[in-house]
Structures are given as C-alpha cells and as structure tokens.
Amino acid sequence: MRHNDKITCILEGRERRDKKSLCKAISEFQQHFQRPEMRREFDLSDPLALRKDLPARQSDNDIRNTVSGMQRFMGEDLKFRERKKFQEEQNREWSLQQQREWEDARAQHRSAEGLCLKTRLQFDETAKHLQNLESATRKAVCTAVKEFNKSQATESLERKIREKKQEQEDNLAEISNLLRGDLLSENPQQAASSFGPHRVVPDRWKGMTQEQLEQIRLVQKQQVQEKLRLQEEERQRDMDWDRRRVQMARAALLSERQQQRQRRDLRRALDCSNLSLAKEQRVQKKYMEEVCTNQPTKDYFTQFNTRSR
C-alpha cells in the first residue's frame, strides 16, 4: 500500500508538471502566434482604429470616394473658389466673344444682302435671256417635230402597204404549199420514221397501206384458224373426259350393284343359317321340355349328350 501510494503521488506530480508545461507552451504560442492584432477580425474591435484610419476625403481624385460613399457632390470640390473665379473669367470672355461674333455676323449679313441683290438682278437678266432662247428653240423644235411626224406618217403608210402586199403574197404561197403538200394530200410516205421502216411518226400517220392491211387480215385469218383448232382440240379433250367419266360412273355402278348382290346373297345365307339355328333351338327346347316332364334330370343330360354327339 505504501509503495502504491508512493507511485500514485509520483504519477500525480508528473501529471501536474505536464499540465503546467502544456499550459505554459499554449500561453507562449498564443503570445507569439495568436496576438489580438494578428486575428482576422481585429479591425472590428481595434481601439486605435479611428487613429489609424485615413480621413474620409483627401483629394478630389481619391479612389475611395465612390458614388455609394456620398463623400463628393457636384460643386463641393476642394478647388471651388479657384474654379468659380475661372468660370467668371470664362463667362466674361464668352460674352465679349459673342458680341464680336454678333457684330461680324451683322456685317456679313449686310454684305450678303447686297451680294444677293446683285445676284438676283443678274439671275433675272439671265432668266429673261434664257426664256427668249427657249421660246425660239421651242418654235424650231415644233417645226422640226411637225416635219418629222409628216415624214414618219408617210413612211408608216408606205410600210403598211408593203407589209399588206407581202402578207397577201405569203398567204397565197402558204395556201399553195398546203394544197400541194403531204398533209392535205395525205401522202403515207410522210409518216416514215428515221428510226426504222417498222416505226411511224404518230402525228403524220395517214393509215395503213394495202399490203399492211392484207398482212393484218392474213394474220387474223391464221389466228381464227388457230383458235378454231384449239377449240376443236379442247372439245375433243372434253368429249374424252366425258366418255371416261361415263365409263368410270358405269364401272362404279356395276361394282356397286355387284356389291349389293353379294350383300344380298350374304344376307340371304345369313338368314337361312339363322332360320336353321332357330328351328334347331326350338326343337331342342321342345325336347328339353319333354325330357323334363318324363325323365329325371340325369337321364336327360345323358340323352342330351348322346344326341349332341
């Protein structure tokens, strides 16, 4: 127990020293690497932030003075007085310049009016001269147009007469060509095709020749004869088939009658055998009844067996 207590005390002391050294190491690490000014959000709680911060407006061209910052407005620049004085001087210069320009414009306007009056008078004289020239030219043009129209009318009349005469000659030539041509004369040679003698031109064909018609009639006669021959062969073939069907039907009828006779003979023989058997059964029955009434049963069986043998 003493030994265990001693060991426990030693372990507790070691644990306290370890804790103390760990706390010391953490404190030193925080002092060296985790100081308040090294934090990311230190600028939110820095007591000297206002002293370190720059003034709101250092100059008119400060890039920090954006529109949303509302630190600079129109007419509130730092050089307001110098700018105002410069604007007044500029306005005075502009006024003097406008007066000089107004006087120069009035002088130019007066000179322009005089020049315009001279130009208008000159234009009027030129227009009068041009009007006289135009009237003379119009008269000459009208005379030339009248002469040209007269010559054109004469030339048009002569041309119409020539065209009418040429048209009449062309019509007479066309009529004579049509009357003498292959179309109205119905020449069969005009339907001959350049692709071979066996082909014709459809829009010029005027009918078959006598040789072609004779050939067609000959072919038709041959076709009729061939058709008659085929019909005769078919009729002979049908007659053969009818004769064979009749023979087969007659043979089948004879065979059926033969079978009916055989069945009748068999039935007759069967009836005879059944009749004889029935008679035999009646006789046997009658004999058994007589034996049963006259003799004992044993003698009956003995006689019956003997008779049966």
Residue 18's pLDDT is 94
Residue 298's pLDDT is 45
| Average pLDDT of the residues in 71-88 | 77
Give the pTM.
0.26
Mean per-residue pLDDT of the chain: 82
Residue 232's pLDDT is 93
CA nearest to 200, candidates 186, 216, 213, 189? 189
Q: Which H helix or E strand runs over 87?
A: helix 80-180
Query: Of the segments 134-138, 202-206, 226-230, 287-291, which one has the largest average pLDDT value?
Result: 226-230
Percent of the chain with pLDDT over 90: 23
| Average pLDDT of the residues in 237-243 | 90
CA–CA separation, 187 and 202 (whole Å): 14
pLDDT tens digit sequence for 148-202: 989 889 998 999 999 999 999 998 888 887 777 666 666 666 666 667 666 766 6
DSSP string, 95-139: HHHHHHHHHHHHHHHHHHHHHHHHHHHHHHHHHHHHHHHHHHHHH
